[in-house]
Amino acid sequence: MAQPSKVGPIFLTIFALPFLGGGLFFLFALFTVPQKSGSSGLIAGVAISLLFAFVGGGLIIAAFKGYGALKKQAALQDANPLSPWLWRTDWASRHADGANNKGYFGAWILAGLGNLFLFPFLFVMVPQLLRRNDPRVLIVLGFCSLGVVLTVRAVRATIRHERFGNGYCEFDPLPISPGRRMTGRIQLRFETQATHGIDLRLTCVRRIVTG
């Protein structure tokens, strides 16, 4: 397999630098230059600055980590060209990790970024509309409630992870031959009886496109 190109990570890093630099600059300016907008304006400014900084920093980290993951994947494929189950570290160890083991982490990131985006509406627009008795405040409040929804979703994902832990399926035979019997064990924290059993879905696809 060809080595991954560096063009993508470099382009993404260059694209993200203005977000990171701009967010940090405005955050620095908020605490060094006297502000006349009051506490609500300060909260909104900090939220916007952090949002830009986190987005920029996150894109840069994703660019470097993604490139490293692609290089590692290419090395595994070159070392085991005819054994695609060895291209994943968990399958190579005779087990398959659950797809939602780290879902709560992504849910908290989404909730954090979403709330940072919504804070300016909540702390700037809502007070202004309330002072004018503008009924459009209900629309803004409804829009801001999305932050509550994202936070509740993240809390539920965390509770689910704490309840079941990092689930995975252990295989007895590997590789698994299509059409033949497969045996293994599902490992997770589950203190109740599953009356109707547990659904297990395994995905290991090797797709080759030619022409």
Tell me: the pLDDT tens digits for 157-179? 998 888 878 888 888 877 777 77
Q: Say how many residues make up the chain.
A: 211
Which range has the worst mean pLDDT, 51-60, 61-70, 73-82? 73-82
What backbone phi and psi angles, to 5 degrees, belong to 169?
-115, 125
pLDDT, greater one: 194 or 62: 62
Closest CA to 203 of 173, 169, 180, 172: 169
Cα Rg for the chain, rounded, in angstroms? 24
What pLDDT score does 192 carry? 67
CA separation for the pair 47, 151 (Å, rounded): 16
Residue 27 has pLDDT above 90, yes or no: no
φ, ψ at 34 (rounded to 5°): -55, 135
Helix (H) or strand (E) holding 96: strand 95-97
Judge whether residue 206 has pLDDT over 70: no
Q: Which residue has the higher pLDDT, 211 or 40?
A: 40
Please give the C-alpha separations between residue 175 and each of 87, 92, 161, 184, in angstroms, as whole numbers: 12, 9, 29, 12
Is 0.75 surpassed by the pTM of this model?
no
> How many CA atoms lie less than 13 Å away from 138 in the CB half-sphere?
2
Average pLDDT over residues 180-209: 72
Cα dihedral value 98, 101, 107, 109, nearest 10: -120
Rounded Cα distance between 35 and 26, Å, is 12
The predicted pLDDT at position 174 comes to 76
Is 1 a residue whose pLDDT tops 60? no
CA distance 36 to 40: 10
Answer whether residue 76 shows pLDDT above 60. yes
